[in-house]
Amino acid sequence: MRFKSPKGTRDFYPDEMDLRRWIMGKWDRVSRRNGFVEYDGPIFENLDLYRVKSGDEIVDQLFHFTDRGGRELAIRPEMTPTLARMVAARVNSLPKPIKWYSQPRLCRAERPQRGRLREFFQWNIDIIGEQSELADAECIFVLVDFFRALGLSPEQVEIKLNSREIVAALLQAAKVPDEKQPAVYAALDKRDKLQPEAFKELLDKIELESDQKESLKRFGDSSGIEGLSSIAAFLKESGASMDGCDRVGNVLRLLDAFGAIDYCRFDMGVVRGLAYYTGVVFEAFGKGGLRRAVGGGGRYDQLIENMGGPSVGAVGFATSDVVIADLLEEFDRLPSESQLLDYFVIDADPSVFNAVLRITAKLREQGFSASFSYMRQGVGKQFKQAASRNAARVVIVEADFESSQTIGVKDMVNSSQSTIALDTFLGNPKCGIGPNCETGSDL
């Protein structure tokens, strides 16, 4: 009987593992250079943890089970509830602001499609304990910093900003009754997943007045500084709160100071979990054929309190390795073939194979990756094996090694080769190929 990997999961053969490690390496470097420290939590949590954040409807989206003690548990589908639980437990002893990141493996019981699998790795960036717009701006800047690290320009990816406060103020200005607002929020949350006609039908079911629908339609597609200004003028004229517009404006000004504004703009079309987020929300989109969200987040000031902690500010975002790989492939930004080995050591005669093992061991002791052929075969075949392993250099131990104590070193990139005393080479394995090698010069 032959088995396949479960639906919506992936096998990571070495090439795929290389790409995953490359992406996660970027996550690590970008996180740390922006002052974030790493955390992690259990692969499964109490099911109620997710109910607190998202309600009972979340249960159908999870892999959940009952353990031997009768406890309802779920494999984690996201990291924010775990983060909130951990922070709530020690919030008074943690220095503020809390700047944490994680790269967990997550699982969701949903229909697999492009960019969305049942099992994936996610990068989470969160700032907790800071109410000012500076935290929102820094989170967004970290995302921009990551896109730059991938070599993606503002012409290839953009980050759209909106605010729950702006949406709430527009509903107030449009005189949408309080009892109908939750249904409107729920509809807006689904807007990006529905065709225009389906979204219109959803609004029709809420039975809004024609002028209310017109107001929502009028401003629903607003974007850019002009769109933000027109909404602010409408809210001011209606006597509704302008706090949301002011905060989004402040975030955009701070992003300008960060030098990241080219990637960012206001867009009313961005609505993310409006029942969960409390302020600024944002989503990153590829601008090629993919045209889907490749990351997003926002401010969620109430979650820590819901987990039993105090009321503290919180903002964060997440993206996954799946959508990032799709984005890189679309713009031909996938990393070139990785260099797996620093050195491949070859014996020109089986009689010197023990020297091959000694040299390999010495290189490994110094932190270099080094390997050799398991089969005693001709030099040509060993060179082919070195090439298949993407070795940067080949060390050739000649048949007269015991008397000469010299080796050949060949650069596999430019094909240059020189002969060098073994002691000199081991004293500085980074030594360049050619006459300067005896002086110990580095590449």
Query: Is 345 found in the same domain as 326?
Result: no
268 burial level (CB within 10 Å; 0-12, 13-18, 19+): buried
Is residue 407 located within the same domain as residue 296? no
Task: Look at residues 250, 255, 260, 202 and name the one whose alpha carbon lies nearest to residue 228.
Answer: 250
- Classify residue 11 by burial, with Cβ atoms within 10 Å: 0-12, 13-18, 19+: exposed
Cα-Cα-Cα-Cα torsion 98, 103, 107, 112, nearest 10 degrees, comes to 120
Asked if residue 321 is part of any domain, the answer here is yes
DSSP string, 408-427: EEEETTT--EEEEEHHHHHH
Write out pLDDT tens, residues 153-182.
999 999 999 999 998 898 888 888 988 888
Please give the residue range of the domain that contains residue 428: 341-439
Report the distance separating Cα 155 and Cα 262, nearest Å.
Answer: 9
Rounded Cα–Cα distance for residues 81 and 167 (Å): 25
**277 within domain boundaries:** yes
Contacts of 443 by beta carbon, 8 Å cutoff, 6+ apart? 430, 431, 432
Task: Note the pTM of the prediction, 2 decimals.
Answer: 0.88
Domain check: are 281 and 402 in the same one? no
| Chain segment 103-149, per-residue pLDDT in tens | 999 999 988 888 789 999 999 999 999 999 999 999 999 999 999 99
Q: Nearest Cα to 264, choosing from 115, 140, 165, 424?
A: 140
Query: Which parts of the chain register pLDDT below 70?
Result: 189, 191-193, 274-275, 337-339, 431-443
> Do 291 and 158 share a domain, yes or no?
yes
Which of 330, 354, 374 delimits the end of a domain? 330
Residues 70 and 135 in one domain: yes
Number of domains, the chain = 2
What does the DSSP 8-state code read for residue 301?
A: T
Residues 126 and 234 occupy one common structural domain: yes
Q: Are 247 and 133 in contact (CB under 8 A)?
A: yes
User: Domain end: 295, 330, 365, which one?
Assistant: 330
So what's the pLDDT on residue 184? 81
pLDDT attached to residue 85: 94
CATH number for the domain harbouring residue 103:
3.30.930.10
Question: Residues 46, 165: contact at Cβ < 8 Å?
Answer: no
Domain end residue (candidates: 330, 361, 383): 330
Together in a domain, 148 and 219: yes
In a domain, 61, yes or no: yes
Q: What is the rounded distance in angstroms from the CA atom of residue 259 to the CA atom of residue 82?
A: 33
Closest to 349 in 3D by CA, of 403, 392, 413, 422: 403
Task: Assess if residue 4 is contained within a domain.
Answer: no
Number of other residues whose CB lies within 10 A of the CB of residue 54: 18
Do 100 and 188 reside in the same domain of the chain? yes
Q: Do both 347 and 318 map to the same domain?
A: no
* Same domain, residue pair 23 and 162: yes
Q: What is the pLDDT of residue 197?
A: 81
SS3 assignment, position 282: strand
Same domain for 82 and 23 = yes
278 within some domain = yes
348 is a domain residue? yes
Determine the Cα–Cα distance for residues 43 and 62; give it in Å rounded to an integer: 13
Which CATH number is 400's domain given? Answer: 3.40.50.800
- Is 8 within the bounds of a domain? no
Domain assignment present for 2: no
Are 203 and 138 part of one and the same domain?
yes
State residue 193's pLDDT score: 67
